[in-house]
């Protein structure tokens, strides 16, 4: 199975002050480069008086960064490196800086921008994103409660239960083969699981 991705638990903002310069980090979940660009544009409009708006985003295999006028390689690159090191995807980071009058030097800027994103990630939290296979189970009404309870006890996610001619349970599992074997053992082969697709779920 592929390694789980990591995503931010929520959008958020965190601010630090270094040598009188303010570094305000905005972290936002995004699904494509256009939505990342929209977040960056919104931050620029809101904080039009800032000295720099340095950015980095990672969306799957797509990753980009910008120093926005800071010396080359001192802002966007260290921001992106934090996202890569923390294995976070589908996120845009914007670090808005108000210059405080004290020059930090290249090394100081690298540390400041990296620290700004790292601390912001600590504040918003990071969750694992796993891909689960979704199954439909048609179950006689009399046995639906027992099977639903067994699913939850075994650690399988139950997305929904609907009642019609039969009870239809939508369940999710990370290992389809193991799930099918577990269900067969539980029901003596009386209930089959129909795979209907995949869904990404964020977990602690």
pLDDT in tens, 168-187: 999 999 899 999 999 999 99
Find where tokens 């910008």 sit.
66
Considering 124, 140, 164, which residue would you say is the last residue of a domain? Answer: 124
Residues 41 and 73 in one domain: yes
Residues 21 and 107 in one domain: yes
**SS3 annotation, 139-163:** ECHHHHHHHHHHHHHCCCEEEEEEE
pLDDT at 1: 41
CA distance 190 to 68: 62
Task: Report, as an integer, the average pLDDT of 144-158.
Answer: 92
Asked whether the predicted pLDDT for residue 2 surpasses 70, the reply is no
Detail the DSSP E strand segments found in 99-192: 126-139, 157-163, 167-173
* Angle at CA of residue 152, ends 148 and 157, nearest 5°: 95
Considering 124, 146, 177, which residue would you say is the last residue of a domain? Answer: 124
pLDDT at 143: 87
Q: What is the pLDDT of residues 69-119, one digit of tens each?
A: 999 999 999 999 999 999 999 999 999 999 999 999 999 999 999 999 999
Residues 11 and 112 in one domain: yes
Asked whether the predicted pLDDT for residue 3 surpasses 60, the reply is no
CATH code of the domain containing 55: 3.30.230.30
Residues 17 and 62 in one domain: yes
Residues 92 and 185 in one domain: no
The residues near 60 (Cβ < 8 Å, ≥ 6 apart) are 89, 90
């Amino acid at each position: 199975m592929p390694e789980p991705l990591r995503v931010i638990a929520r959008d958020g903002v965190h601010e630090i002050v270094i040598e009188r310069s303010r570094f305000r980090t905005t972290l936002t979940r995004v699904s494509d480069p256009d939505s990342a660009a929209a977040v960056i544009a919104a931050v620029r409009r809101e904080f039009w008086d800032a000295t720099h708006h340095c950015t980095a985003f990672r969306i799957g295999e797509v990753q980009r960064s910008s120093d926005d006028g800071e010396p080359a390689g001192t802002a966007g690159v260290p921001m992106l490196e934090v996202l890569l090191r923390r294995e976070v995807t589908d996120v845009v980071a914007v670090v808005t800086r108000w210059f405080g009058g004290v020059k930090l030097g290249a090394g100081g800027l690298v540390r400041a921008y990296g620290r700004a994103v790292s601390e912001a990630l600590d504040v918003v939290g990071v969750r694992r994103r796993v891909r689960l296979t979704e199954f439909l189970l048609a179950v006689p009404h009399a046995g639906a409660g027992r099977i639903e309870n067994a699913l939850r006890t075994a650690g399988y996610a139950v997305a929904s239960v609907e009642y019609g001619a039969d009870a239809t349970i939508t369940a999710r599992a990370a290992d389809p083969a193991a799930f099918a074997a577990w269900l067969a053992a539980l029901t003596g082969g009386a209930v089959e699981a129909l795979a209907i697709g995949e869904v990404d779920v964020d977990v602690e």
